[in-house]
């Protein structure tokens, strides 16, 4: 019996051209990964970034509000950073005194649909021109479709100045919920 013949399989030897092909492929993949990292970080940044708190806004000297007899309208500058966008806007607020004599700041945004509430001296109260909601000088509701009283804002006194932290609240709900 003769030994079985072994088949020889030809194995291609690596050539310089195949090494250069692999090297070119690795370099291209590495460059693609390196260039995609900033793009991926740019796309994911809004998901990772947190909205900063609204900064405290100056409403005026505390001495200006010492002899309040009714609500005083003030315009405050609100600065907020959201992702990579910085927003600076002017908002209207009303400064009043609570029953205990403390300064209180009310948002001029109606809790019904977000119209601007206005003080009416003739009615000695606030009134929403859009849907006729009415509020007392302390912000409590007296009539109309608004589901809750006017929203109070956080305040603090720094160096004799009344500082306000402006926030947005959800409309059409009975509870005061911070929005955005």
In a domain, 122, yes or no: yes
Residue pair 110/146 in contact (Cβ under 8 Å)? The answer is yes
Task: Write down the pLDDT at residue 10.
Answer: 64
Domain that holds residue 141: 57-165
Task: Write down the pLDDT at residue 82.
Answer: 72
Distance of CA 164 to the CA centre of its chain: 16
Residue pair 96/138 in contact (Cβ under 8 Å)? The answer is yes
What are the phi and psi torsion angles at 33 (to 5°)? Answer: -65, -45
* 7 to 2, 4, 10, 14, 88: CA distances (angstroms): 15, 9, 10, 22, 81
161 and 74 co-located in one domain: yes
Task: Write down the pLDDT at residue 67.
Answer: 83
Task: Write down the pLDDT at residue 117.
Answer: 92
In a domain, 34, yes or no: yes
Task: Write down the pLDDT at residue 3.
Answer: 63
Consecutive sets of 10 residues in the chain, 180 residues long: mean pLDDT of each? 65 77 92 90 75 78 85 89 80 89 90 90 89 89 90 91 89 82
126 and 153 co-located in one domain: yes
Question: Which three-class secondary structure string do you get for 11-52?
Answer: CCCCCHHHHHHHHHHHHHHHHHHHHHHHHHHHHHHHHHCCCC
In a domain, 64, yes or no: yes
Task: Write down the pLDDT at residue 52.
Answer: 62
In a domain, 7, yes or no: no
36 and 120 co-located in one domain: no
How far apart CA 138 and CA 112 sit, in angstroms, is 17
The total domain count for the chain is 2
In a domain, 150, yes or no: yes
């Amino acid at each position: 019996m003769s030994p079985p013949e072994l088949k020889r399989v030809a194995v291609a030897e690596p050539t310089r051209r195949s090494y250069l092909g692999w090297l070119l492929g690795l370099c291209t993949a590495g460059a693609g990964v390196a260039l995609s990292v900033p793009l991926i970080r740019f796309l994911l940044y809004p998901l990772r970034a947190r909205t900063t708190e609204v900064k405290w806004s100056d409403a005026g000297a505390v001495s200006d509000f010492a002899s309040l007899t009714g609500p005083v309208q003030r315009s405050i500058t609100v600065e907020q950073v959201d992702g990579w966008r910085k927003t600076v806007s002017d908002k209207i607020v009303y400064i009043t005194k609570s029953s205990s004599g403390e300064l209180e700041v009310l948002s001029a945004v109606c809790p019904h649909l977000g119209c601007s509430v206005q003080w009416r001296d003739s009615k000695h109260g606030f009134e929403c021109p859009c849907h006729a909601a009415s509020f007392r000088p302390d912000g409590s509701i007296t009539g109309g479709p608004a589901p809750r009283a006017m929203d109070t804002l956080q305040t603090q006194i720094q160096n004799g100045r009344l500082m306000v932290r402006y926030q947005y609240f959800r409309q059409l709900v009975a509870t005061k919920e911070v929005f955005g």
